[in-house]
Chain A
Amino acid sequence: MVWFILRRAGSAVIVLFLASILIFLGIRALPGDPAVVMAGEEASPAVVEAIRHEFGLDKPLPAQYVDYVGQTLSGNLGRSTQDQLPVAGILAERLPVTLELSALALLVAIVVGVGAGIVAAVKRGRLPDYVATGFGLAGLSVPHFWLGLLSILLFAVTLRWLPASGYVPFTQDPGQNLQRMILPALVLGTGFAAILMRQTRSAMLGALSADYVRTARSKGLSETKVVGAHALRNSLTTVVTVLGLQLGALISGAVVTEQIFVIPGFGKLTVDAVLTRNYPVIQAVVLVTVIGYVLVNLLVDIAYAFLNPRIRLSGGRHD
């Protein structure tokens, strides 16, 4: 087990290293000079040059990369070219917002998706199955942003039950905060609920027909116990895998959802930073995303190995 974790961690480090180069080069491949953007409407070439110098953009690429890695490792993420505020502080403000949104969305997805998946599998071929399957397909087919628009149209414009958008920090007013987070979380969660529902259903169906469940049934265990104790536990593997694989999609989804509902989160920060060529911020947000992805997948791998010991021998999942 230890060896397995070490091996996985080793490859995570390699991924991080490759990603850091990719981020670094990728940003610099973008047309649009951050110095020009910063200097703005009234820029003179001299000002642009001065800014370029200040941010080290006039150095050769390898030197810039060394600077970047060195500073990042020493915990210095630099200052945003947009407003001169320290990037670390900006991340500290934005990250919790998106984490809250994602956590709520995941909560929705797990409760609705896993619940519906179990019900559909247990009641296979009957009405609840069709309803759940239909929901699963619909959830997969509807684009996030359209769902967002429609829910604003319905709940905010027509019914006026909820505010259309905006964000109030949880620490400032928890009630207001949740009121404004409900719609975005539902919108973001729907797609994942659909995926989870489909995966849970098929995993449950597989498990319910497996030998050990049949054995358990024949031993006279109640159906609730069979479903609860045996089948569900095995289905967890699926859920964990899906979560790992869908993390990237969750972040992409958060970008769109935050745009529609004007939530000052990490996703919005990312898009804004790319569009303003805010190098220090882009580097930091992509790095954080990649670290998050790698970490979550490492955890997923470990969780997976615990839940399904065979994996350890074959060396990895989804291969």
Chain B
Amino acid sequence: MPMAGLVLVAGFLLLALLGPVLTGDPSAQDYNATLAPPSGTHPLGTDDLGRDALARIAHGAQVSLQAGVLSTLLAMVVGIPIGLVAGFYRRWLDPVVMRLVDVTLAFPFLVFAVGLAAIIGPSLKGVVLALGFSQLPAVVRITRGEVLAIREMDYVAAAIADGASDRHILLRYVLPNCSSPLIVQATVAIPAAIIGESTLSFLGLGVQPPTPSWGVMLTTAQQYLDVAPWLAIWPGLMIALATLGFNLLGDGLRDVLDPRSGR
């Protein structure tokens, strides 16, 4: 199963990196060939402006990849230090951070995303920020939890006794030992972000036209469900496959890296 995941993820990466090179212009309009069914010239058909669905799928993969990876990176870069510090100085910093995490968790993600999109305008940047922020609590919690456990380890106690600086202990001993659950978290976060991007784009809060995104393509498709149902199939299928790939890979990684989770 993890192999299947690896294959799907690799396929997704290939599509995102090479697809745009191999396919045509995703924005080229042809008013004489709108909503055309799949054919030799357009293997996946065309949309309402006569644009090639295949080219848009390929370019859309890039948007999904960016949204997934960048938002996860953002959550990690911001969340790990917070989690490290909170877990390490648990007496005075920890309660504050954890209450803030609770508040963040209590906010419905979509309300936050809609608000953020309104503030900075719908864009990939907004999507990445909204998705990254929504992943933050999980990253902080996981890191903190690991730190709490690692802190009690003998080797850390020994390092403290040796008079090592906090900074040294955090970076040398604590951080490396947090990496496994965080890698697993990334394989959960990336597919969630891919779905998140398509949801936001679907709601009109994602990337700017004419940039193709799978969510935008689905928005368009929804208007033509009865005349061009195939338009709704491809982007959804791509989202599902990419997500499935990451989930399978994540399950596999979890078994290897994080056996405690019991899967």
Which A residues fall within an 8 A CB radius of B? 11, 14-15, 18-19, 22, 26-27, 29-32, 137-138, 140-146, 149-150, 152-153, 157, 198, 202-203, 205-206, 248-249, 251-252, 255-256, 259, 267, 270-271, 274-275, 282, 285-286, 289-290, 293-294, 318-319
How many angstroms from the CA of A268 to the CA of B87 in the assembled complex?
Answer: 38
> Which residue of the partner chain B has the closest CB to A156?
B225
Task: Identify the 6 closest CB pairs spanning chains A and B, nearest first.
Answer: A146-B236, A141-B243, A141-B244, A293-B106, A252-B110, A290-B106
Q: How many residues of B contact A (CB 8 A)?
A: 45
How many angstroms from the CA of A142 to the CA of B233 in the assembled complex?
Answer: 12
Contacts of A294 in B (CB 8 A): 106
How many angstroms from the CA of A290 to the CA of B105 in the assembled complex?
Answer: 9
Q: 6 A-B pairs, CB-CB below 8 angstroms?
A: A145-B202, A145-B218, A205-B262, A251-B110, A293-B105, A319-B145
Contacts of B62 in A (CB 8 A): none
Contacts of B221 in A (CB 8 A): 149
CB atoms of B119 and A15 under 8 A apart: no
Given contacts A157-B226, A271-B114, contact A202 B261 (CB under 8 A): yes
CB atoms of B115 and A26 under 8 A apart: yes
CB atoms of B109 and A289 under 8 A apart: no
Contacts of A318 in B (CB 8 A): 141, 145
Contacts of B145 in A (CB 8 A): 318-319
Which B residues fall within an 8 A CB radius of A? 99-100, 102-103, 105-111, 114-115, 118-119, 141, 144-145, 148, 191, 195, 198-199, 202-203, 218, 221-222, 225-226, 229, 232, 235-236, 239-241, 243-244, 247-248, 251, 261-263
> Which residue of the partner chain B has the closest CB to A274?
B114
CB atoms of A249 and B109 under 8 A apart: yes
> Which residue of the partner chain B has the closest CB to A266?
B108
CB atoms of B240 and A142 under 8 A apart: yes
Contacts of A270 in B (CB 8 A): 108, 110-111
Contacts of A29 in B (CB 8 A): 115, 119
User: Shortest CB–CB separation between residue B192 and chain A, in angstroms?
Assistant: 9
- Contact residue among A138, A198, A203, A319 (Cβ-Cβ distance under 8 Å from B148): A319
Contacts of B235 in A (CB 8 A): 146
Contacts of A19 in B (CB 8 A): 103, 106-107
Contacts of B261 in A (CB 8 A): 202
- Contact residue among A31, A206, A256 (Cβ-Cβ distance under 8 Å from B119): A31
Q: How many A-B pairs with Cβ below 8 Å?
A: 140
User: Shortest CB–CB separation between residue A206 and chain B, in angstroms?
Assistant: 5
Given contacts A26-B115, A152-B225, contact A248 B239 (CB under 8 A): no
Given contacts A248-B109, A249-B109, A256-B110, contact A32 B118 (CB under 8 A): yes
How many angstroms from the CA of A30 to the CA of B114 in the assembled complex?
Answer: 10
Contacts of B141 in A (CB 8 A): 318
CB atoms of B99 and A149 under 8 A apart: no
CB atoms of A15 and B102 under 8 A apart: yes
Contacts of B144 in A (CB 8 A): 319
User: Shortest CB–CB separation between residue A209 and chain B, in angstroms?
Assistant: 9
CB atoms of A30 and B99 under 8 A apart: no
User: Shortest CB–CB separation between residue A82 and chain B, in angstroms?
Assistant: 16
Knowing that A146-B236, A267-B110, A290-B107 touch, tell me 18 more A-B residue pairs with CB under 8 angstroms.
A14-B99, A18-B100, A32-B118, A137-B247, A140-B244, A141-B244, A142-B243, A143-B236, A146-B218, A149-B218, A150-B232, A152-B225, A198-B263, A256-B202, A256-B203, A271-B110, A274-B111, A318-B141
Contacts of B232 in A (CB 8 A): 146, 149-150, 153
Contacts of A286 in B (CB 8 A): 107-108, 111
CB atoms of A144 and B199 under 8 A apart: yes
Contacts of A319 in B (CB 8 A): 144-145, 148
CB atoms of A31 and B108 under 8 A apart: no
- Contact residue among A18, A150, A255 (Cβ-Cβ distance under 8 Å from B236): A150
How many angstroms from the CA of A94 to the CA of B109 in the assembled complex?
Answer: 20
How many angstroms from the CA of A11 to the CA of B107 in the assembled complex?
Answer: 16
Residue from the set B106, B221, B229 with the largest chain A CB neighbour count within 10 Å:
B106
User: Shortest CB–CB separation between residue A148 and chain B, in angstroms?
Assistant: 10
Residue from the set B119, B144, B202 with the largest chain A CB neighbour count within 10 Å:
B202
How many angstroms from the CA of A267 to the CA of B108 in the assembled complex?
Answer: 10
Contacts of A259 in B (CB 8 A): 203
Contacts of A146 in B (CB 8 A): 198, 218, 232, 235-236, 239-240
How many angstroms from the CA of A30 to the CA of B121 in the assembled complex?
Answer: 10
User: Shortest CB–CB separation between residue A284 and chain B, in angstroms?
Assistant: 12
Contacts of B241 in A (CB 8 A): 141
